[in-house]
Structure 1
Amino acid sequence: MTNPVRWGVLGAAKFAREHMAPAIHAAEGAELAALATSSAEKAVPFQSFAPGIMVHESYEALLADPSIDAVYIPLPNHLHVEWALKAMQAGKHVLVEKPATLQEAEFDQLIAARDAAGVLAAEAYMIVHHPQWQRVQELVQSGALGQLRHVSGRFSFDNRQDVDNIRNRPETGGGALRDIGVYVFGSARFVTGEEPVEVSAQIEWENGVDVLSNVQARFPGFLYTAYVSTRLQPYQEMLFHGDKGVLRLTAPFNPRVFGEARLELHQTSHAAGTGQVIAERFPLADHYKLQVEAFGRSLREGVPYACPLEFSRGTQAMMDRVFEVATDL
């Protein structure tokens, strides 16, 4: 890719500072060119690894910068649609943090704006770019597990002490489902290519946000259970269970933070009457960097993007359904 994508970041969010901005800076075919923040102090950590970065004092100024090709939006959840629309209207390609919207219907606005502007726009659902998830999709769809009968997921952490965190505030679109439910929902959809036909759920609420959600669903080919929480001991796991094998991911959602990316294929040798476990490890893969590179290939070379807005809309539809049908825990 001879013409690198010049990226701008809207806001000096902690997640952008610690993960996505360094990933953009490190990605092949990308250049971290601009940051929008009115705080010179907040710009300093970005300048430490990208000394040449241009700092704009407003989001509008960055969007008006003709040298910027693409914008990454890590703002609080309730601002995602507004600024994604403004960025696309300014002719910028857009990578917006998940959840891209708070309601499925809002995807209509994003898709219409994308098509009208002729830009690439996507939700920053990074896990589909990780080789462990591409491998799981390959194994499941090739029949390595036989007939898939059940999928389960769990993802939790505890942020109850951080009362000012946007994840603990209803007015900013907080809650466990919107923050991490997209992972246990979207990963099952990505691997299987199926959509839920029945959903039930139970939710525990605290100060207007969901802090523990337990979800059950029926997909055309399998049953599904999952829970997410922002009030439990940190843990994550995904399990795909078929009649001839089991696939287990031990750090499915933020490997290299929670642990090494590892998938285990459990199978039984009927001839020998014994079980075997085949493990595959992905210790070096950085899904944030891979996401930026995939975005750039789609933008510059027309390579199909693994997570278009239409895919993300399906995850939001499942989340909306959970909120609609849930009873209180």
Structure 2
Amino acid sequence: MTPVKWGVLGASKFALNYMAPAIHAAEGAEFAALATSSADKAAPFQAFCSNLRVHLSYDDLLADPEIDAIYIPLPNHMHVDWTIKALEAGKHVLCEKPIAMQEAEFDQLIAARDKSGLLAAEAYMILHHPQWHLTRDLVQQGMIGKLTHVSGKFSFDNRKDTGNIRNRPETGGGGLRDIGVYVFGSARFVTGLEANDISARVRYENRVDVVADVQGRFGDALYTAYVSTRMHPYQEMVFHGEKGVIRLTAPFNARVFGEARVELHTVGHTGGGTVSTQRFPADDHYKLQVEAFGRAVREGGDYPVPLEFSRGTQAMIDKVFEVASEV
């Protein structure tokens, strides 16, 4: 198998801790190059990838003829421009979420992807984790009966990190773009539906949303969710049906927040409640994402999270901002 040779555009902390090691570990992938103007920032990457080439500018990395694919972990407001530049340079692109700041920007991304004939996708890693495919199958197969309610919760507290790009409006910060994509996109994936009747309340600090409380419907099912960058760390997704409940205990940061478990709560033959649990102690959704991307590049098949899916999640984020009342 000829490996896909990857370059990482920028020495971000997230790339260092998660995606670069995942590329290095993934089957059929080679972490080959990094673009950063700082030798100090390159050193931790070279510590686990000794043959890494370091380019001193982003453009130099895009011009590297040895590189097949680019991973982009830059601040949100830079995603569209650098995704298009990488495609025009002949590179496949996996860009961190949100890949765009507004739904309308997907017109440019999809046009650039189609013109290049290359793969471009948002790094929406959770849908590469088997817990989400199991959950979708359980719901779609009617294991909890008719779906009546979906709830999502995702929070952490970074109020002290005032320089963080998530706390800066000029870099596209805020909780909805950073983690709202998870409580929104995962519900869309499992139900196969788009949300409607959306309402929301949002609290801002320094022109950045820090708490968002969202309601809506997915088909006949009610939907409630909150995301916050000012609350104790927590995450959970629950799909409640007429005949059972599915609960995901670490839906978004599996192995980091805790062990990923899918609990199926149903009524047993004797009338008492029963819980069957499937655990996923070792699955690394970042590594699985890289491997899925590589297969699509080499074999030309469909990628599980195309731009069209990501566009739908961004449309939901845009709608929340549009209808939200400020609190």
Fold shared by both chains (TM-score > 0.5)? yes
**Equivalent runs, 1:129-140 vs 2, <5 Å:** 129-140=128-139
Aligned-partner residue type, residue 279 of structure 2 = R
2:295 corresponds in structure 1 to: 297
Q: Distance in 1 between matches of 2:159 and 2:135?
A: 33
Aligned-partner residue type, residue 246 of structure 2 = L
Q: How far off its partner does 1:305 sit?
A: 1.1
Say if 2:237 is the partner of 1:238.
yes
1:4 corresponds in structure 2 to: 3
In the alignment of these two chains, the number of paired residues is: 327
Say if 2:306 is the partner of 1:281.
no
What whole-Å deviation, never above 9, does each CA across 1:96-121 have from its counterpart, x for those lacking one?
00000000000110000000000000
Say if 2:235 is the partner of 1:250.
no
What whole-Å deviation, never above 9, does each CA across 1:245-277 have from its counterpart, x for those lacking one?
1000010000111100011000012x4111100
Q: Distance in 2 between matches of 1:303 and 1:134?
A: 19
1:41 corresponds in structure 2 to: 40
2:217 corresponds in structure 1 to: 218
Q: Is the 8 A contact 2:9 2:58 kept in 1?
A: yes
Aligned-partner residue type, residue 318 of structure 1 = M
Q: How far off its partner does 1:129 sit?
A: 0.2
1:154 corresponds in structure 2 to: 153
Aligned-partner residue type, residue 40 of structure 1 = A
Q: Distance in 2 between matches of 1:107 and 1:21?
A: 26
What whole-Å deviation, never above 9, does each CA across 1:255-303 have from its counterpart, x for those lacking one?
111100011000012x411110000100000000000000011111123
**Equivalent runs, 1:289-328 vs 2, <5 Å:** 289-328=287-326
SS of alignment partner, residue 164 of structure 1? coil
1:55 corresponds in structure 2 to: 54
Q: Distance in 2 between matches of 1:38 and 1:328?
A: 40
What TM-score do you get using the length of structure 2 for normalisation? 0.99
Q: Distance in 1 between matches of 2:288 and 2:167?
A: 30
Q: How far off its partner does 1:222 sit?
A: 1.1
Q: Is the 8 A contact 2:6 2:68 kept in 1?
A: yes
What TM-score do you get using the length of structure 1 for normalisation? 0.99
1:82 corresponds in structure 2 to: 81
SS of alignment partner, residue 108 of structure 2? helix
SS of alignment partner, residue 24 of structure 1? helix
What whole-Å deviation, never above 9, does each CA across 1:73-117 have from its counterpart, x for those lacking one?
000000000100100010100000000000000011000000000
Runs of 4+ aligned residues of structure 1 deviating over 6 Å after TM superposition are none
2:267 corresponds in structure 1 to: 268
Q: How far off its partner does 1:221 sit?
A: 3.1
SS of alignment partner, residue 273 of structure 1? coil
1:209 corresponds in structure 2 to: 208
Q: How far off its partner does 1:144 sit?
A: 0.7
Aligned-partner residue type, residue 116 of structure 1 = K
Say if 2:200 is the partner of 1:197.
no
Q: Is the 8 A contact 2:246 2:263 kept in 1?
A: yes
